[in-house]
Amino acid sequence: MLDLTGKNALVTGIANNRSIAWGIAQQLHKAGANLGITYLPDERGRMEKKVAELTEPLTPSLFLPCNVQDDEQIKATFDRVKQKWGKLDSLIHCLAFANRDDLTGNFSDTSRQGFNTALEISAYSLVQLAQAAKPLMVDGGSIVTLTYIGGVRVVPNYNVMGIAKAALEMNVRYLASELGPQNIRVNGVSAGPIRTLASSAVGGILDMIHHVEAVAPLRRTVTQLEVGNTAAFLCSDLASGVTGQIIYVDAGYGIMGM
């Protein structure tokens, strides 16, 4: 049985009720995990209010601002985790960002700033969070990140995000190798396209979803909750022998050649 009772899980990346991280948080809660939620703070505190209201039914015992571009916020987040929980069992990394202009047009036009931003927020952040989580995962642990097939094969317009996901997937392997002796597992879930805040801001996402519905073996896209089930599995003792892997939750799309 998938059982996360007694496990402390920190979930990043919830922006609204369409976020993949929201699907993950719901399944972790269902399996009995004790949750901590982090959100990206804005000047007006609107995100804080929105995410707090959304996640209230999951009764998180920690609710913290954490912009991964700010080292102080990361430190404060993990200081609070240590203070409140003593130890951390699971960390969900479910965030990405590239400048909107870099997700359309020619990849070769990507600026230094655009490249650095995408890789900093979408790939380096996993290293930072793993670094901070490592001393708190005293009973071993599970780190799960979200990736996309555009990091392995060319998807039109995914552009610099594809390079960021390639780096992210290699981060998974190097971190898994280093942290394995401490029984900390590190894995990625490669999700098929889902309508979320991030994906809906991208032109042509609906056409991509229709394409997947036409050619994926299951003839449909996947849901946030299905991705959440695989993330919950990876956080559980059922996955005790699994590390350094990228698991595709994509209705089979990725196996197709045509």
Q: Is 168 within 8 Å of 127 (Cβ atoms)?
A: no
Asked about 158 being catalytic, the answer comes back as: yes
Q: In this structure, what is the dihedral angle of CA atoms 205, 211, 164, 95, given to the nearest 10 degrees?
A: 50
| 74 binds ligand NAD per the rule CB under 6 A | no
Residue 5: closest CA among 31, 37, 23:
31
Q: Is 130 in the site for ligand NAD (CB under 6 A)?
A: no
Q: Going residue by residue from 190 to 229, which x/- string records binding to ligand NAD, judged by CB under 6 A?
A: -x-xx-xxxx------------------------------
Please select the residue that binds ligand NAD; options are 20, 37, 88, 92, rule is CB under 6 A.
20
Catalytic residue among 39, 124, 148, 248: 148
Contact status: 121 vs ligand NAD (CB under 6 A): yes
**Site membership for ligand NAD, residue 25 (CB under 6 A):** no
CB 180 within 8 A of CB 129: no
253 binds, among ligand NAD, ligand 0WE, none (CB under 5 to 8 A by kind): none
Round to whole Å and give the CA distance between 7 and 33: 5
Element (H, E) at 195: none
- Cα 38 versus chain centre, distance: 12
148 is known as an active-site residue:
yes
User: Is residue 233 a contact point for ligand NAD (CB under 6 A)?
Assistant: no
| Rounded least distance, CB 184 to ligand NAD, Å | 20
Residue 171 binds which entry of ligand NAD, ligand 0WE, none, with Cβ cut-offs from 5 to 8 Å by kind?
Answer: none
Residues in the chain: 258
Instruction: Give me Rg for the CA atoms of the chain.
Output: 17
